[in-house]
């Protein structure tokens, strides 16, 4: 699954906690993110968006979607990390906007809710996501 010069894909850089939207080989938008708090928590590699959910439930603590206590925020875009089915690692919103731009997550890519909502509207299922150190 190589990156193409045409079309849209995402690049996430863990070192800088930045997500870039690339269209036809050019970066068209960059947004801050939060990634894994320890090395290895956020997987690296090339993945695809395989699930999209509005107001996702936080299953681990049974917090419904839309609840202000829900750490997943307003949107979920799950990645096809092997063995996860698109429900373990993903790009999602947050209920802690002050933490965006740092390495604080349990492995997912957190974004400001306004940024993840923009991304959700513009990235279809199947969008390639490259996660780099």
Which amino acids are annotated catalytic? 92, 108
Say which DSSP state 117 is in. H
Q: What is the rounded CA–CA span in Å between residue 5 and residue 49?
A: 19
Tally of CA atoms within 13 A in the half-sphere of 51 that contains its CB: 19
Question: Which tokens go with 26?
Answer: 């050019």
Q: What is the rounded CA–CA span in Å between residue 25 and residue 50?
A: 22
């Amino acid at each position: 699954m190589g990156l193409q010069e045409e079309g849209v894909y995402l690049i996430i850089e863990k070192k800088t906690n930045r997500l870039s939207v690339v269209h036809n080989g050019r970066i068209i938008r960059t947004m801050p993110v939060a990634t894994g708090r320890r090395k290895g928590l956020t997987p690296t590699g090339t993945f695809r968006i395989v699930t999209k959910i509005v107001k996702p439930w936080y299953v681990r603590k049974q917090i419904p979607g839309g609840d202000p206590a829900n750490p997943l925020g307003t949107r979920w875009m799950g990645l096809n990390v092997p063995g996860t089915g698109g429900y373990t690692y993903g790009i999602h919103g947050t209920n802690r906007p002050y933490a965006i731009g740092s390495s604080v997550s349990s492995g997912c890519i957190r974004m400001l809710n306004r940024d993840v909502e923009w991304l959700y509207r513009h990235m279809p299922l199947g969008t390639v996501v490259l996660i780099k150190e």
